[in-house]
């Protein structure tokens, strides 16, 4: 009858349910209301100057009606988005403490800002994290705050269903043309008059999207069949991901963009004369987010949230806005010219553009019309309305009245949204918060009624008081809008504490089940955590629990989460010192203990280098890199050595694997598995040679090496796994040595996975693989320290939890050694495109998962049998191989689950922490994804290892009872 292992599956089911419940309560998006703003809505507002009395109150736009919520101030709009445009790409280098090679490349922007500050203005645009393109485009167009869970949609953007700028443009008769990043067409599938999308996910492709934008952008500037033109370039973002900001590819891209802007501005200026096509056109050059020096983004660091916006109007405004509303800071550039840069929140973008184009503001927008960007629209300096008298008003008073008018509508719209949101949402804002913002709005509305009376009055002295009254009015509205934005940022996420509590409770139950399963197996078969075989609590158990608890407690601190790799390395070194003490006392395996401590030291340095991506200004790393560059420049042979050493490491790794197999077995499929791995290693070396500048290969060979060789390596690895699965299903051969069976199958599994993982990691792959092999060997050998002949056979029932704890800590160290960290900007997206030029979701997702968790989960879990496979074999010990292996897996799973439970408790406690979305939530996502993957891999490994070993064990004449079978199998 069929048999199946059920304990790992049952534990996985509990943990998946717990994670789903907790995630549903913690990573909720804000409620997206199904309401849309219409032109007629503003008639309900107190803003008497927003709509003339003759306003058509139908929801549809009257083609003869010139204004809706505000008077259009701009005729046409050109938006050029340079993805990941850092602020220091645009602002002069004199704005910063140190000049960098990538600065001052967009010369045109600085020239225009210096030549006429009243028509061309540089802004530092502040984005809200997470800073991925999907969230930023969604935030820019809806005027709302992004939510963390949307990060998961970054590789498959769903259409935006809530009200947004693009929807309002299309609804109100504005013809929108888009070209570039295809994310726009995914977010707004039916809103564009014309669109020219290009695939955006191949970060190795720097030019396809940009060339497509250039091809369509310039011709459209001479056409009349559009009102809003959007061109989204991706070269800078991709260059950052692959090469980093400080690279020649980045500088070349910025210089290319400068040339594109020269042609765009030339075309617009040529047609900006009175009566020209672009007489009243506004040009916006902007980024959606920034990026770190290493090209990463997604988090909330200043480099990631600070991007640029450059606005150009081709008409001079008649005056300048009051200094109270000007946030500019000015510096002299390298040519001695005065250049000013203002500040704007990206939250304000949608509502400001809506006000300039005269369309309704998006229903869910909580931004404020930015005064400096609004003032660039020349139409905002002329006040015309069905009531009032503008003849006696100065241009500044007319602009102030227009702006106060727009802020009145803006504040009314935000207040309406907050009221409806609070009534519709399950939780919404607290009663005290609603009372506070309602009071602020009431005071502003009361002041507005007094201000309008002054405007309607024809008395001269009233006009003398108009400007101060308008300033007070604008300040009241601005304070109200700022208060709403601050409240939303602090309390926007609706945490469902009941679901979070239920998820945490089920997670704790799964830990209890895990513990009871371990306890039952240990007691039923007489296993002990002490060498004497008694049932007491051993030092090893206490020490292992202490290590696990210490790591779990470290998650309470955001600083320790940032330094998680170093914490794991420190704890691993502590366990190494304990083993060193045993080695010295027993006077054996001292070399293994020393090698293990040396390996940990190397891992510590490697983690430091990996973390330097988070701190690119590290003086140590910069000095080290410059020293290495000087050496390689002075001695070209070092370049050759750098290319050859990884290949030599591959040869050493292949030799070790072949020796491991041939030393135990040369029969069956095992030799074919090793043969396939050796072929893959040769192909990896060929792939590296095809990408090297030293080996001058033909272009055809480079093309083959770039794509076809990686695919062949993937195919060989997949074939090896299929061969192992086939052998598992159909090979019913038995062995008298269960330990030998486990050992061979573990080596074969490592061989099948290693080639693909090494390829994805690049030239650091062989080093990480060797570190894994050496570290695993040392842990395995040091587990034998306490096995003394004088103990007789009692060691067969002893299980030391320290090696399992070391194995889990070593896996964490390898995660950080490979350059990863628990953040979305810690993902190596380029690895997903090794062997592929185009974005295909499933293969890229699999490759990215393997690159991220290959050496930290996949290999460690399939490699766990090493801890029981080479302990030696006695007749009595053979009976307990299956039990020992299952206990090792359960202990390892319990350690992982305990760490994730600690993460869940920490994010629950810190759900209102300033860094919840920038640090704690990414940590939570990585940990729960790792736990689910761990559960799946443990279940697969159980089927792979336990089946044949169980068959062998059941044939053991010493195995008379079926309790072990009853515990782990179900008929």
Residue 874 has pLDDT above 80, yes or no: no
Q: Name which of 132-136, 320-324, 494-498, 945-949 the model is least confident about.
A: 945-949
Residue 696 has pLDDT above 70, yes or no: no
Look at residues 12, 15, 33 and name the one whose alpha carbon lies nearest to residue 23: 15
**Pick the residue with more confidence: 24 or 464?**
24
**Pick the residue with more confidence: 555 or 730?**
555
Q: CA-CA distances (angstroms) from residue 334 to 114, 339, 506, 842?
A: 11, 10, 62, 50
Burial class from Cβ neighbours inside 10 Å (0-12, 13-18, 19+) for residue 66 reads exposed
Residue 468 has pLDDT above 80, yes or no: yes
Task: Write down the mean pLDDT value for the chain.
Answer: 81
Predicted confidence at residue 131, as pLDDT, reads 81
The residues with which 77 forms a beta bridge, in sequence order, are 228, 282
Predicted confidence at residue 18, as pLDDT, reads 94
**Pick the residue with more confidence: 847 or 297?**
847
Predicted confidence at residue 319, as pLDDT, reads 74
Predicted confidence at residue 912, as pLDDT, reads 63
Residue 699 has pLDDT above 70, yes or no: no
Predicted confidence at residue 452, as pLDDT, reads 77
Extract the tokens encoding 502. Answer: 């239920």
Residue 615 has pLDDT above 60, yes or no: no
Predicted confidence at residue 373, as pLDDT, reads 93
Residue 606 has pLDDT above 80, yes or no: yes
**What are the strands of the beta sheet with 329-332, ordered from one edge?**
194-198, 176-181, 228-233, 76-82, 281-286, 306-313, 120-126, 338-345, 329-332
- 426 phi, psi to nearest 5 deg: -65, -40
Residue 95 has pLDDT above 70, yes or no: yes
pLDDT tier at 875, thresholds 50, 70, 90:
very low
* Secondary structure (3-state) at 341: strand
Q: pLDDT tens digit string along 223-242?
A: 999 999 999 999 999 999 88
Q: CA-CA distances (angstroms) from residue 598 to 112, 203, 577, 601, 605?
A: 58, 37, 11, 5, 11
Question: Of the segments 179-193, 515-529, 957-971, which one has the largest average pLDDT value?
Answer: 179-193
Residue 956 has pLDDT above 80, yes or no: no
pLDDT tier at 808, thresholds 50, 70, 90:
very high
The number of residues in the chain equals 971
**Pick the residue with more confidence: 668 or 416?**
416
Fold designation for 71-347+355-365: Alkaline Phosphatase, subunit A (3.40.720)
Q: pLDDT tens digit string along 435-461?
A: 999 999 999 998 888 877 766 665 544
Q: CA-CA distances (angstroms) from residue 603 to 197, 403, 408, 966?
A: 44, 59, 59, 43
Predicted confidence at residue 211, as pLDDT, reads 94
Residue 347 has pLDDT above 60, yes or no: yes
Residue 465 has pLDDT above 80, yes or no: no
Q: pLDDT tens digit string along 351-370?
A: 999 999 999 999 999 999 99
Residue 539 has pLDDT above 80, yes or no: yes
Residue 909 has pLDDT above 80, yes or no: yes
Residue 616 has pLDDT above 60, yes or no: no
- What's the CA gap between 339 and 345, in Å, rounded? 20
Q: pLDDT tens digit string along 297-336?
A: 877 778 888 999 999 998 887 777 877 788 888 888 888 8
- Give the pLDDT mean for 251-257: 95
Residue 124 has pLDDT above 80, yes or no: yes
Predicted confidence at residue 462, as pLDDT, reads 53
Residue 512 has pLDDT above 80, yes or no: yes
| Residue 878 and residue 758 in contact, taking contact as beta carbons nearer than 8 Å | no
- What's the CA gap between 502 and 23, in Å, rounded? 11
* Secondary structure (3-state) at 321: coil
Predicted confidence at residue 245, as pLDDT, reads 92
Burial class from Cβ neighbours inside 10 Å (0-12, 13-18, 19+) for residue 94 reads middle
Contacts of 719 (CB under 8 A, 6+ apart): 676
**Which helix (DSSP H) or strand (DSSP E) does residue 660 occupy?**
helix 637-662
Predicted confidence at residue 298, as pLDDT, reads 74
pLDDT tier at 414, thresholds 50, 70, 90:
very high
CATH 3.40.720.10 segments of the chain? 71-347+355-365
- Give the pLDDT mean for 276-299: 89
Residue 528 DSSP label: B
- What's the CA gap between 864 and 883, in Å, rounded? 14
**Pick the residue with more confidence: 205 or 511?**
511
Extract the tokens encoding 118. Answer: 């009243």
Predicted confidence at residue 386, as pLDDT, reads 42
Q: What percent of the chain has pLDDT over 90?
A: 40
**Pick the residue with more confidence: 188 or 741?**
188
Look at residues 829, 833, 804 and name the one whose alpha carbon lies nearest to residue 819: 829
Look at residues 186, 565, 421, 388 and name the one whose alpha carbon lies nearest to residue 397: 388
């Amino acid at each position: 009858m069929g048999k199946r292992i059920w304990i790992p599956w049952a534990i996985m089911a509990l943990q998946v349910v717990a994670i789903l419940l907790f995630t549903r309560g913690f990573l909720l998006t804000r409620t997206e209301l199904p309401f849309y703003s219409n032109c007629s809505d503003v008639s309900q507002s107190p803003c008497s100057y927003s709509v003339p009395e003759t306003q058509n109150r139908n929801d549809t736009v009257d083609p003869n009606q010139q204004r809706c919520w505000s008077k259009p101030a701009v005729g046409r709009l050109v938006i050029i988005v340079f993805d990941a445009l850092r602020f220091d790409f645009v602002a002069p280098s004199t704005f910063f403490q140190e000049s960098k090679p990538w600065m001052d490349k967009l010369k045109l922007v600085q020239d225009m800002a210096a030549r006429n500050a009243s028509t061309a203005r540089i802004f530092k645009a502040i984005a809200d994290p997470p800073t991925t393109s999907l969230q930023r485009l969604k935030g820019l167009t809806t005027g709302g705050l992004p939510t963390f869970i949307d990060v998961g949609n970054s590789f498959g953007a769903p259409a935006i269903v809530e009200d947004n700028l693009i929807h309002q443009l299309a609804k109100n008769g504005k013809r929108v043309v888009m070209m570039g990043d295809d994310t726009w067409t995914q977010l707004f599938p039916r809103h564009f008059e014309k669109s020219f999308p290009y695939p955006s996910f191949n970060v190795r492709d720097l030019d396809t999207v940009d060339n497509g934008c250039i091809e369509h952008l310039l011709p459209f500037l001479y056409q009349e069949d559009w009102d809003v033109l959007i061109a989204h370039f991706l070269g800078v973002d991709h260059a950052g991901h692959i090469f980093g900001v400080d690279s020649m590819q980045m500088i070349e891209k910025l210089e290319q963009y400068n040339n594109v802007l020269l042609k765009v501005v030339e075309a617009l200026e040529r047609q900006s004369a009175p009566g020209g096509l672009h007489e009243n056109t506004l040009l916006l050059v902007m980024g959606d987010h920034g990026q770190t020096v290493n090209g990463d983004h997604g988090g909330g660091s200043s480099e990631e949230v600070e991007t640029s916006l450059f606005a150009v109007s081709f008409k001079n405004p008649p005056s300048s806005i009051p200094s109270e509303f000007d946030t500019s800071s000015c510096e002299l550039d390298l040519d001695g010219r005065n250049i000013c840069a203002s500040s704007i929140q990206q939250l304000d973008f949608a509502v400001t553009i809506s006000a300039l184009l005269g369309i309704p503001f998006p229903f869910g927008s909580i931004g404020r019309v930015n005064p400096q960007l609004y003032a660039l629209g020349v139409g905002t300096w002329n006040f015309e309305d069905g009531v009032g008298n503008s003849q006696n008003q100065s241009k500044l008073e007319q602009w102030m009245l227009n702006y106060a008018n727009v802020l009145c509508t803006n504040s009314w719209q935000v207040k309406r949204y907050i009221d409806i949101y609070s009534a519709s949402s399950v939780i919404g804002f607290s009663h005290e918060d609603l009372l506070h913002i309602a009071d602020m709005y009431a005071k502003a509305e009361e002041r507005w009624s007094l201000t309008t009376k002054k405007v309607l009055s024809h008395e001269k002295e009233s006009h003398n008081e108009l400007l101060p009254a308008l300033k007070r009015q604008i300040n009241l509205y601005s304070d109200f809008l700022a208060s709403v934005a601050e409240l939303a940022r602090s309390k926007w996420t609706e945490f469902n504490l009941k679901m979070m509590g239920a998820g945490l409770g089920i997670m704790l139950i799964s830990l209890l089940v895990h513990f009871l399963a371990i306890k039952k197996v240990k007691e039923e078969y007489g296993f002990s955590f002490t060498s004497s075989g008694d049932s007491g609590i051993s030092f090893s158990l206490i020490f292992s629990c202490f290590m696990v608890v210490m790591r779990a407690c470290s998650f309470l601190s955001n600083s320790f989460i940032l330094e998680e790799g170093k914490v794991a390395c420190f704890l691993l070194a502590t366990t190494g010192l304990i083993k060193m003490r045993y080695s010295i006392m027993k006077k054996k395996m001292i070399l293994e203990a020393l090698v293990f401590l040396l390996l940990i030291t190397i891992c510590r340095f490697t983690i430091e280098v990996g973390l330097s991506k988070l701190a690119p200004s590290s003086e140590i790393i910069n000095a080290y890199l410059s020293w290495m560059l000087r050496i390689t420049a002075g001695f070209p042979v070092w370049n050759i050595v750098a290319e050859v050493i990884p290949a030599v490491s591959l040869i050493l790794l292949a030799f070790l694997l072949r020796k491991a197999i041939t030393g135990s077995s040369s029969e069956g499929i095992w030799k074919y598995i090793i043969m396939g791995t050796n072929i893959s290693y040769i192909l990896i070396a060929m792939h590296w040679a095809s990408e090297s500048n030293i080996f001058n290969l033909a272009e055809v060979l480079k093309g083959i090496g770039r794509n076809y060789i990686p695919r062949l390596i993937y195919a060989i690895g997949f074939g090896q796994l299929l061969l192992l699965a086939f052998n598992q299903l159909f090979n019913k051969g038995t062995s008298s040595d269960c330990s030998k069976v486990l050992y061979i199958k573990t080596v074969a599994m490592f061989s099948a996975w290693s080639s693909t993982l090494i390829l994805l990691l690049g030239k650091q792959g062989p080093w990480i693989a060797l570190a894994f092999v050496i570290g695993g060997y040392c842990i395995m050998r040091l587990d034998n320290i306490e096995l003394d002949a004088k103990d007789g056979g009692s060691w067969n029932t002893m299980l030391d939890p320290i090696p399992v704890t070391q194995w889990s800590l070593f896996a964490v160290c390898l995660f950080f050694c490979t350059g990863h960290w628990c953040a979305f900007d810690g993902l190596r997206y380029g690895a997903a495109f090794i062997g592929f030029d185009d974005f295909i979701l499933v293969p890229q997702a699999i490759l990215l998962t393997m690159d991220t968790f290959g050496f930290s989960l996949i290999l460690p879990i399939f490699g766990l049998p090493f801890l029981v496979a080479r302990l030696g074999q006695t007749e009595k010990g053979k009976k307990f191989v299956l039990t020992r292996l299952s206990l090792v897996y359960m202990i390892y799973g319990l350690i992982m689950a305990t760490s994730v439970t600690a993460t869940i408790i920490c994010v629950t406690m810190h759900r209102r922490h300033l860094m919840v979305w920038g640090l704690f939530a990414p940590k939570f996502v990585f940990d729960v994804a790792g736990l689910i993957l761990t559960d799946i891999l443990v279940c697969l490994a159980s089927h792979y290892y336990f089946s044949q070993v169980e068959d062998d064990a059941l044939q053991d004449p010493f195995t008379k009872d079926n309790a072990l079978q009853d515990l782990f199998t179900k008929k």
